[in-house]
Amino acid sequence: MYAWSLLWFGIGVGGEYPMTSITAMEGVHGQPRWGQLVNQVVLILALLTFHSGGSPPYGEVATQYTFRISFAFIAIFLLFLIYIRVFKLKNANQSFNASRKRGRVTGYDVTSLRLVMGHYWHRLFATSLCWFCNDFPFYGNQIFRNVFLQLVTGGNSSEVTTLWLYNLVNVGCELVGYYLAALLIDHKLYGRKRMQAVGFLMNFVLFIIAAAIFPKLDTMGAGAHGFEFIYFFSSFWIQFGPNSTTFLVAGEVYPSPVRATAHGLFAAVGKCGALTATVLYNYIGSRTKFWVVCWFGLIGFCLAVVFIPDTTGLDLREQERYWLFVREGRQDEYHGIAIHPRHLSLFEKVILKRGRNYDPELDQKAKIEELRSLYDRVNSEKGTELGEETGESIDEKVSTYFDWEKTKEVHTI
């Protein structure tokens, strides 16, 4: 039953997860979620209620009620989210559908997928491996928490409430990191790329320190408190770093026709990291776990610095505009902000030299011509809603300008 539940969870959430991130990027914003924290609180309160305390042994009635109530509680929110997704986010795939129509694609966009494999292979490589490198320490952090608990409790605790209370503190640290990430992820002086790189680097530093001085940390008193700090601080940097950026970057750096496909692929690669950690940690010692996990932080840092572009402040519509040029085989004619050096990776700037065609003056002229073409198309298709076909519309001021320009031409003649 557990295996089947994972299968259906992957099909359902695995498909919706990237679409949710796309919806967020297209401007549909939700409320902050405290899911992990609330879940832990519900578990603790339910056990205290039905067991009259946290000390073992735990009876069948207490464990069954705790288990079932925690699932019933979250089911209420799941039903509410289903209602929101079905009835309130009907236009969640608007950008995707509009892009397909602009590219005259009626089915799955195989052409765009092939182009992405060739044009953005380096981004595919980096975003997938960065997700792998993130999930390895992220889920590893959950797996070796037993090592942490043995150190801070002296191996004498058999109460699940002790585990849950420490986990509650850990989730609190993650929550602080997550909110700080939300605060700075769009800031021009920090943004996505720096956040991801610094988060990976800090995890490398913290875990390699833990590995190097593990004998000193593996003692009660000051050593255990030092381990406590490293454990909680690493959780903070995972959230204020790659766990808040990998899924977002993996959606933003690709065109909408294949964005969900690419996102799902990278999520699968990331889960391979979680699976690898889960299996590997059963066969290696406590200190070796830290020697292993630290290097994934360093690998993730190097990948982020070299291959990950910085999409902070970049309008996704401009990304789509650039992709139209690529799709039509005339990418050298694009001069817009999507190839500005600050939005390209180090590899794209130095090796591929994709920023060489950036020219704001030529781009401004090209945009005027594109708007004029769109304006003419609107006038020639009187009975058709242009927005339904392309997802684009003409601003009233722009339309007024072209009306005036046309009138001026008539008077000149």
Q: CB under 8 Å to 198, separation ≥6 — which residues?
A: 237, 241
Helical axes 160-184 vs 242-252, angle rounded to 10°: 50
Inform me whether the pLDDT recorded for 347 exceeds 90.
Answer: yes
What CA–CA distances, in Å, run from 169 to 153, 157, 305? 15, 17, 32
Residue 165 and residue 44 in contact, taking contact as beta carbons nearer than 8 Å: yes
pLDDT band per the 50, 70, 90 thresholds, residue 195: very high
- What was the pLDDT predicted at 29? 47
Residue 61 and residue 92 in contact, taking contact as beta carbons nearer than 8 Å: no
Instruction: Compute the distance between CA of residue 337 and CA of residue 335 in angstroms, rounded to an integer.
Output: 7
Residue 160 and residue 48 in contact, taking contact as beta carbons nearer than 8 Å: no
- What was the pLDDT predicted at 193? 94
Residue among 173, 168, 305 at smallest CA distance from 243: 173
Residue 136 and residue 274 in contact, taking contact as beta carbons nearer than 8 Å: yes
Inform me whether the pLDDT recorded for 392 exceeds 70.
Answer: no
Mean pLDDT on 393-410 = 68
- What was the pLDDT predicted at 130? 94
- What was the pLDDT predicted at 125? 93
Q: For the chain, what are the domain ranges?
A: 113-358, 360-413
- What was the pLDDT predicted at 31? 47
- What was the pLDDT predicted at 151? 66
Residue among 131, 99, 262, 236 at smallest CA distance from 179: 236
Mean pLDDT on 38-50 = 83
Higher pLDDT, 107 or 288: 288
Inform me whether the pLDDT recorded for 30 exceeds 60.
Answer: no
Residue where the block lists tokens 């590219």: 103
- What was the pLDDT predicted at 255? 82
Inform me whether the pLDDT recorded for 348 exceeds 90.
Answer: yes
Most confidently modeled range among 47-61, 121-135, 388-402: 121-135
- What was the pLDDT predicted at 99? 61
Inform me whether the pLDDT recorded for 384 exceeds 50.
Answer: no
Local structure of 362: helix, strand or coil: helix
Higher pLDDT, 52 or 99: 52
Inform me whether the pLDDT recorded for 237 exceeds 90.
Answer: yes
Instruction: Compute the distance between CA of residue 102 and CA of residue 296 in angstroms, rounded to an integer.
Output: 41
> DSSP for 171-216?
HHHHHHHHHHHHHHTT-TTSHHHHHHHHHHHHHHHHHHHHHHTHHH
Residue among 245, 130, 233, 236 at smallest CA distance from 190: 245
H or E stretch covering 256? helix 256-280
Mean pLDDT of the chain: 81
Higher pLDDT, 13 or 180: 180
Instruction: Compute the distance between CA of residue 42 and CA of residue 88 in angstroms, rounded to an integer.
Output: 28
Residue 221 and residue 270 in contact, taking contact as beta carbons nearer than 8 Å: no
Mean pLDDT on 154-178 = 78
Mean pLDDT on 361-380 = 84
DSSP character at residue 103: T
Residue 253 and residue 345 in contact, taking contact as beta carbons nearer than 8 Å: no
CA atoms within 13 A on the CB side of 225: 2
**How many beta carbons lie within 10 A of that of residue 323, not counting itself?**
26
Q: Exposure of 306 by Cβ count < 10 A (0-12 exposed, 13-18 middle, 19+ buried)?
A: middle
Residue among 227, 246, 228 at smallest CA distance from 238: 246
Inform me whether the pLDDT recorded for 361 exceeds 60.
Answer: yes
DSSP character at residue 58: P
- What was the pLDDT predicted at 358? 94
Higher pLDDT, 184 or 57: 184
- Out of 9-23, 30-44, 125-139, 161-175, pick the least confident: 9-23
Residue 14 and residue 264 in contact, taking contact as beta carbons nearer than 8 Å: yes
pLDDT digits (tens, 9 = 90+) for 325-344: 998 889 999 999 999 999 99
Mean pLDDT on 204-219 = 89
Residue among 360, 367, 363, 372 at smallest CA distance from 401: 372
Residue 174 and residue 239 in contact, taking contact as beta carbons nearer than 8 Å: yes
pTM for the model = 0.80
pLDDT digits (tens, 9 = 90+) for 105-128: 555 677 788 888 899 999 999 999
For residue 57, say if its preceding peptide bond is cis, omega within 30 degrees of 0.
yes
* Cα-Cα-Cα-Cα dihedral sign, residues 275, 170, 159, 66: negative
- What was the pLDDT predicted at 27? 53
pLDDT band per the 50, 70, 90 thresholds, residue 171: confident
For residue 231, which phi and psi values (nearest 5 degrees)?
-65, -50
Local structure of 329: helix, strand or coil: coil
Mean pLDDT on 212-238 = 85
DSSP character at residue 339: G
Instruction: Compute the distance between CA of residue 195 and CA of residue 239 in angstroms, rounded to an integer.
Output: 10
Inform me whether the pLDDT recorded for 383 exceeds 50.
Answer: no
CA atoms within 13 A on the CB side of 398: 14
Helices (H), 381-395: 386-390
- In CATH terms, the superfamily for domain 113-358 is MFS general substrate transporter like domains (1.20.1250.20)
Instruction: Compute the distance between CA of residue 285 and CA of residue 218 in angstroms, rounded to an integer.
Output: 13
pLDDT digits (tens, 9 = 90+) for 131-149: 999 988 787 666 666 666 6
Residue 122 and residue 348 in contact, taking contact as beta carbons nearer than 8 Å: yes
